[in-house]
Amino acid sequence: MTTYSLRKAAADKIKTDALVVGVCTSAKGLQVAPGGEDVASAYGRKLTPLLSTLGFSGKAGEVVKVPTGGVVKSPVLVLVGLGDRDALTTEKVRRATGTAARAITNAASVALALPAHDAEHVRAVADGYLLGSYAYAEYKTAEPPARPGEVVLLTDRAKTKDAQTALETAQVVATATCLARDWVNTPPGDFTPEKFADAVSATKKSSKAKVTVAVTDEKALEAEGCGGIIGVGRGSANPPRLVRLSYKPRGAKAHLALVGKGITYDSGGLSLKPGPSMVTMKCDMAGAAAVVAATFAIAELGLPIAVTTYAPMAENMVSGSSTRPGDVLTMFGGKTVEVLNTDAEGRLVLADALVKATRDKPDLIVDVATLTGACVVALGDRVAGVLGNDPDLVAQIRGAGEKAGEALWPLPITDEMTEKVRTNSKVADLAQHNTERWGGTLYAAAFLQEFVDGARWAHLDVAGPAFNEKGPHGYTPSGGTGIAVSTLVELAADLSAR
């Protein structure tokens, strides 16, 4: 266990194993970033030549470790690039802190002398370290490197309430993000719908959050008429589940409904994916992981927002009992859907859950889903798409994403797509899949929109940023990223402030 604390102390005098300072570029050359002034004066004129000998340019993503030889009390100085001094943002601080955290591999104690002059920056530094030091070692037989026992954030505001709150909030939200990462990273054979539902129940047991959890099994789902969840899950030996969470604080200012796609593995079903596309498909429950983890975080923070969360969980597999392209499913609430491609399964499990969410009469519904490869084509693997039926809500979510450091970009739901959803099936009410591949993200969202009954709703397509197939960067690890947890908590905070 690592303890985090705020302290007002001189960075050059503090005795820790590793001391972190930021370095900015500026017209006058490299400069130590705010927070590192004491270290800069301890080194005096020696610092610039040292940095140039190291070939350190101050760019974001750069990090070097140097022995201090007694210039400051700490034996190791960690210098991390922050880029242009005039373009410094909280997000750049958050990312640089993450980069520094990843570089620190064997320190029992760490002090961070980074820009932390106000609560917002304290939050960014805490977020960066907490998220950047994440590692998934559950299946590694080798002993993982020891984590520091103590991380101290140096700030002049250490004694203030707002800085303390910023640190506590960072700990709650980062813990939730890392929980979502763990769930995504767990091998899919060990994280079936039943096991995922058990993990949610276990989290509730160990959490202080006042959240209730209800799990619906396959028999009850069948009896209730959840044709989407049953239809997708029927090809698997591991039956589906629907998990519902509820947080109802006194004096709630609004009622937020969350829905997350929980496909614990997506083989594509009978419309089988090519082998290489299947490799990362344990990430297909990242939406469910995010909405569940965010619900616990919102409750733990005690935000005055009621939250009802639905996580439909199923495994999309191939067998003699799989749903076939051509089959018609009756969704919860009665609408019929012709399945044309069993690999477009996410929208089917979400449809049942969205209808359920709508029946609770929330003020707004937000769903999160690794829904379409088309969204990755459109926006790349670091930007999520956001679509919906209310431009103000889309703007509000983008604002929350901005604060959270999660990039979201709007895409439209056109009348043309809605028309296709409603007319492309010759036998059922709705066509699940568009045989024309262009605009696949728009079509999928237009399909989901048929199940929200006019309620204010937004959809986050996180197929790109949910899973990092490449190396780590900033505070983002390889594998599960925990995308959307932070944005959803910011959204709830924003709703409570309105």
Output 263 or 311, the one with its CB closest to Zn ion: 263
463 in contact with ligand BES (CB under 6 A): yes
Residue 38 interacts, among ligand BES, Mn ion, Zn ion, none and using kind-specific CB cut-offs from 5 to 8 Å, with none
Stretch that binds ligand BES, among 26-34, 229-237, 369-377, 421-429 (CB under 6 A): 369-377
Output 144 or 187, the one with its CB closest to Zn ion: 187
Residue 91 interacts, among Mn ion, ligand BES, Zn ion, none and using kind-specific CB cut-offs from 5 to 8 Å, with none
Shortest spacing between CB 326 and ligand BES, in angstroms: 15
Query: How many chain residues interact with ligand BES (CB under 6 A)?
Result: 16
Shortest spacing between CB 276 and ligand BES, in angstroms: 11
315 in contact with ligand BES (CB under 6 A): no
Stretch that binds Mn ion, among 76-84, 131-139, 336-344, 471-479 (CB under 5 A): 336-344
Q: 65, 248, 253, 273: which one is catalytic? A: 273
Stretch that binds ligand BES, among 122-130, 229-237, 343-351, 393-401 (CB under 6 A): 343-351
Stretch that binds ligand BES, among 14-22, 174-182, 250-258, 344-352 (CB under 6 A): 344-352
Residue 374 interacts, among Mn ion, Zn ion, ligand BES, none and using kind-specific CB cut-offs from 5 to 8 Å, with ligand BES
Stretch that binds ligand BES, among 230-238, 342-350, 398-406, 484-492 (CB under 6 A): 342-350
Among 127, 315, 345, 490, binds ligand BES (CB under 6 A): 345
Site for Mn ion in 251-290 (CB under 5 A): 266
Stretch that binds Zn ion, among 207-215, 248-256, 279-287, 296-304 (CB under 5 A): 279-287
Among 127, 194, 266, 315, binds Zn ion (CB under 5 A): 266
Among 83, 260, 346, 480, binds Zn ion (CB under 5 A): 346
367 in contact with Zn ion (CB under 5 A): no
Shortest spacing between CB 455 and ligand BES, in angstroms: 24
Output 251 or 276, the one with its CB closest to ligand BES: 276
374 in contact with ligand BES (CB under 6 A): yes
Task: Check: CB of residue 269 under 8 Å from CB of residue 235.
Answer: yes
Task: Check: CB of residue 229 under 8 Å from CB of residue 310.
Answer: no
284 in contact with Zn ion (CB under 5 A): yes
Amino acid letter at 410? Answer: P
Residue 373 interacts, among Mn ion, ligand BES, Zn ion, none and using kind-specific CB cut-offs from 5 to 8 Å, with ligand BES
Q: 95, 241, 244, 347: which one is catalytic? A: 347
Long-range pairs, 421-424, Cβ under 8 A, ≥24 = 421/446, 421/447, 421/450, 422/450
Shortest spacing between CB 376 and Mn ion, in angstroms: 13
| Positive or negative: CA dihedral 106, 111, 117, 118 | positive
344 in contact with ligand BES (CB under 6 A): yes
Stretch that binds ligand BES, among 23-31, 40-48, 243-251, 365-373 (CB under 6 A): 365-373
Shortest spacing between CB 255 and Mn ion, in angstroms: 31
Residue 376 interacts, among Zn ion, Mn ion, ligand BES, none and using kind-specific CB cut-offs from 5 to 8 Å, with ligand BES
3-state secondary structure labels for all residues of the chain: CCEEEEECCCCCCCCCCEEEEEEEEECCEEEECCCCHHHHHHHHHHHHHHHHHHCCCCCCCCEEEEECCCCCCCCEEEEEEEEEHHHCCHHHHHHHHHHHHHHCCCCCEEEEECCCCCHHHHHHHHHHHHHHCCCCCCCCCCCCCCCCCEEEEECCCCCCHHHHHHHHHHHHHHHHHHHHHHHHHCCHHHCCHHHHHHHHHHHHHHCCCCCEEEEECHHHHHHHCCHHHHHHHCCCCCCCEEEEEEECCCCCCCEEEEEECEEEEECCCCCCCCHHHHCCHHHHHHHHHHHHHHHHHHHHHCCCCEEEEEEEEEEECCCCCCCCCCCEEECCCCCEEECCCCCCCHHHHHHHHHHHHHHCCCCEEEEEECCCHHHHHHHCCCCEEEEECCHHHHHHHHHHHHHHCCCEEECCCCHHHHHHHHHCCCCCCEECCCCCCCCHHHHHHHHHHCCCCCCCEEEEECCCCCEECCCCECCECCEECCCCHHHHHHHHHHHHHC
Beta-carbon neighbour count of residue 69 at 10 Å?
A: 8
Which residue's Cβ lies closest to Zn ion? 266
Cα separation, 283 vs 463, whole angstroms: 9
Output 300 or 343, the one with its CB closest to ligand BES: 343
Task: Check: CB of residue 457 under 8 Å from CB of residue 449.
Answer: yes
376 in contact with ligand BES (CB under 6 A): yes
Output 20 or 444, the one with its CB closest to ligand BES: 444
343 in contact with ligand BES (CB under 6 A): yes
Task: Check: CB of residue 257 under 8 Å from CB of residue 368.
Answer: no
Active site residue 347: yes
Shortest spacing between CB 277 and ligand BES, in angstroms: 7
Output 303 or 375, the one with its CB closest to Zn ion: 375
Active site residue 210: no
Residues contributing to the site for Mn ion (CB under 5 A) = 266, 343
Q: Would you name the residues annotated as active-site residues?
A: 273, 347
